[in-house]
Amino acid sequence: MLIALSSIGSLPLLVQRFPDGILIPPLVYEEVVTTGQGRPGAAAVAAARWITQVPLADARLSGLLRNELDQGEAEAIALAVQ
């Protein structure tokens, strides 16, 4: 969702919906901004000060979820559960 919204210039919809900001795991930031450098939306995510990186306290759940999901998706779900 983060990549899709940022690539079409609609990232502000997230801050409108979540005015206190959003939390993402560092791996998601890395996928979108570092690995995605130069791709549509990467710079917008990097500049969004309302997006906060939060490391996972316990990576076991994300490890289990990786059997079915991409790493970033697995960590995002694990962070939400955390």
How many domains would you assign to the chain? 1
Average pLDDT, the chain: 93
pLDDT at 58 over 90: no
Q: Which long-range contacts (CB under 8 A, 24 or more apart) does 57-62 make?
A: 57/82, 58/82, 62/25
Q: Supply the pTM of this predicted model.
A: 0.86
What is the residue range of 32's domain? 2-81
Residue 37 to residues 6, 32, 59, Cα–Cα distance (Å): 13, 7, 26
pLDDT, one tens digit per residue, over 4-44 is 898 898 999 999 999 999 999 999 999 999 999 999 889 99
Is the dihedral angle over the CA atoms 60, 62, 65, 71 positive or is it negative?
negative
